C-alpha cells in the first residue's frame, strides 16, 4: 500500500514538474500581434505555420487580429499582412516610421470572375455592357480595373464596377439578378461553382501577372529595434511554405481546418486545390523586384501614385534571404 501511495506521489510530482516546464515555455514565448486585413484561405501558409507550431518553435506567440482597414500609424510591435501596396501607401503618408514589406506570402491573384454560361470559355469582350460586383477596394480589385483597361473596356461606359460591403453575400446578389458578373475569392468561388451546372469560374491567377498580393509588413522602427523577432517570424513562414508545397490539398485542409470552422471540408479542400494548381502562393518569403516594379507601374497607370519609390524604400529582403539560406542548410 505504501509503495502504491509512493508511486502515485512520484507520478503526481512528475506531472506537476512537466506542467511547470510547459507553462514556463509558454510564458517565455515572445508575443507578437499579426493583423490580417481579411481572414482568408488565401493566407494558408500563415495558418500552416500556426498549426504546425513553427511560430512556437521559433519562440513566438503569434496573436491574430482582424482589421480590414489596418492603421498605418500602428503600434510598433505589430506585423500587418496585406498586399505590398500598403508599403507604398505608407510612404505616401509621410510617416516617420513607414511600413516596410519584409516577407512574401502570395504572388498571384486569388480572385475569380464568376458567371453563368454554357460553352465554358471566358472572353473579355463578353464583359461589354456588363456589371461586375466586386468586394471592398484592394489590390485584386485594382488589378481587375487595370486588366479591364488593357482589354479596352472603359469603366463607367463599357463595363460597370460595383463594390459590395465586407458583410454582403455576393452570391445572393448574383441570384437576385442584381449583377451579371461576380468577382469572388475562396471559399465563395467554390461555393458558387458547386451551386449550379452552368456556374463557371475564370481564375485571374491564370493570367501572366505576378504581383505581391499578400506580404508581411513591419514599421521601419521595429526592423531597426528588433530584427531578431522578424527573423524568427520569417523563418517560421518559410518552413510553412515548404510544408505547404510538399503536401496535398486534403492534408493542408486537415491541418488548417481549426482556423476555418465554418467552411465545409470539401469546399476547403477544393479551394486549396485551386490555389495550389494556380501557383498562387509564393515558394519563399523573398519579395521579387520584378513583381514590385509591375505593381508600381499599375498604380501609376491607374493614377494611384504620382511617382515610383525605390525598392529600398518599400522592401527589406534581409530576413527572407537569411531564412532561405539557414533552412536550406538544415
- Return d(Cα 189, Cα 183) in angstroms, integer: 9
Confidence of residue 50 (pLDDT cuts 50, 70, 90): very high
CA–CA distance, 58 with 270 (Å, rounded to integer): 31
In the CATH hierarchy, which fold is given to the domain comprising 29-108+212-328?
A: D-Maltodextrin-Binding Protein; domain 2 (3.40.190)
**Phi and psi angles of residue 218, each rounded to the nearest 5 degrees, phi first:** -140, 155
Spatial distance between the Cα atoms of 231 and 79, rounded to a whole number of angstroms? 12
Confidence of residue 157 (pLDDT cuts 50, 70, 90): very high
In this prediction, residues 177-189 reach a mean pLDDT of 81
Q: How many CB atoms lie within 10 A of CB 160?
A: 16
What is the rounded CA–CA span in Å between residue 26 and residue 19?
11
pLDDT in tens, 8-36: 444 444 544 444 444 444 558 899 999 99
55 has a pLDDT exceeding 60: yes
pTM exceeding 0.85: yes
Rounded Cα–Cα distance for residues 246 and 248 (Å):
7
pLDDT confidence of residue 310 = 95
Give the pLDDT of residue 175: 54
Lowest mean pLDDT among 111-125, 236-250, 253-267: 111-125
pLDDT band at 243 (very low <50, low <70, confident <90, very high): very high
Domain with CATH 3.40.190.10 in the chain: 29-108+212-328, 111-206
**Fold for the domain defined by 111-206:** D-Maltodextrin-Binding Protein; domain 2 (3.40.190)
- The pLDDT assigned to 11 comes to 46
Q: What does the pLDDT average to over 213-229?
A: 95
pLDDT, mean of residues 304-325: 96
H-type alpha helices, 132-288 = 139-150, 170-175, 188-194, 220-225, 227-245, 249-256, 265-278
In whole numbers, what is the pLDDT of the chain averaged over residues? 87
Closest CA to 227 of 321, 95, 86: 321
Amino acid at each position: 500500500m505504501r509503495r502504491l501511495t509512493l508511486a502515485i506521489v512520484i507520478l503526481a510530482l512528475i506531472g506537476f514538474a512537466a506542467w511547470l516546464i510547459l507553462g514556463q515555455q509558454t510564458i517565455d514565448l515572445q508575443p507578437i500581434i499579426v493583423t490580417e486585413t481579411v481572414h482568408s484561405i488565401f493566407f494558408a501558409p500563415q495558418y500552416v505555420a500556426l498549426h504546425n507550431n513553427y511560430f512556437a518553435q521559433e519562440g513566438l506567440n503569434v496573436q491574430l487580429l482582424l482589421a480590414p482597414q489596418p492603421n498605418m500609424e500602428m503600434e510598433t510591435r505589430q506585423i500587418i499582412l496585406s498586399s505590398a501596396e500598403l508599403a507604398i501607401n505608407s510612404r505616401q503618408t509621410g510617416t516617420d516610421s513607414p511600413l516596410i514589406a519584409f516577407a512574401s506570402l502570395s504572388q498571384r491573384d486569388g480572385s475569380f470572375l464568376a458567371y453563368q454560361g454554357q460553352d465554358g470559355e471566358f472572353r473579355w469582350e463578353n464583359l461589354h455592357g456588363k456589371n461586375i460586383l466586386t468586394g471592398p477596394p484592394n489590390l485584386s480589385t485594382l488589378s481587375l480595373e487595370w486588366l479591364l483597361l488593357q482589354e479596352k473596356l472603359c469603366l463607367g461606359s463599357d463595363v460597370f464596377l460595383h463594390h459590395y460591403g465586407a458583410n454582403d453575400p455576393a452570391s445572393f446578389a448574383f441570384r437576385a439578378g442584381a449583377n451579371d458578373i461576380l468577382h469572388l475569392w475562396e471559399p465563395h468561388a467554390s461555393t458558387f461553382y458547386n451551386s449550379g451546372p452552368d456556374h463557371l469560374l475564370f481564375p485571374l491567377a491564370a493570367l501572366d501577372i505576378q504581383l505581391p498580393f499578400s506580404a508581411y509588413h513591419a514599421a521601419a522602427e521595429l526592423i531597426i529595434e528588433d530584427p531578431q523577432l522578424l527573423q524568427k517570424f520569417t523563418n517560421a513562414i518559410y518552413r510553412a511554405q515548404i510544408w505547404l508545397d510538399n503536401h496535398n490539398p486534403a492534408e493542408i485542409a486537415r491541418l488548417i481546418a481549426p482556423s476555418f470552422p465554418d467552411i465545409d471540408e470539401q469546399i476547403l479542400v477544393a479551394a486549396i486545390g485551386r490555389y495550389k494548381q494556380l501557383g498562387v502562393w509564393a515558394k519563399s518569403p523573398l519579395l521579387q523586384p520584378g513583381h514590385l516594379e509591375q505593381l508600381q507601374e499599375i498604380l501609376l497607370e491607374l493614377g494611384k501614385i504620382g511617382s515610383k519609390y525605390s525598392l529600398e524604400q518599400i522592401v527589406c529582403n534581409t530576413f527572407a534571404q537569411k531564412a532561405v539560406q539557414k533552412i536550406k542548410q538544415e
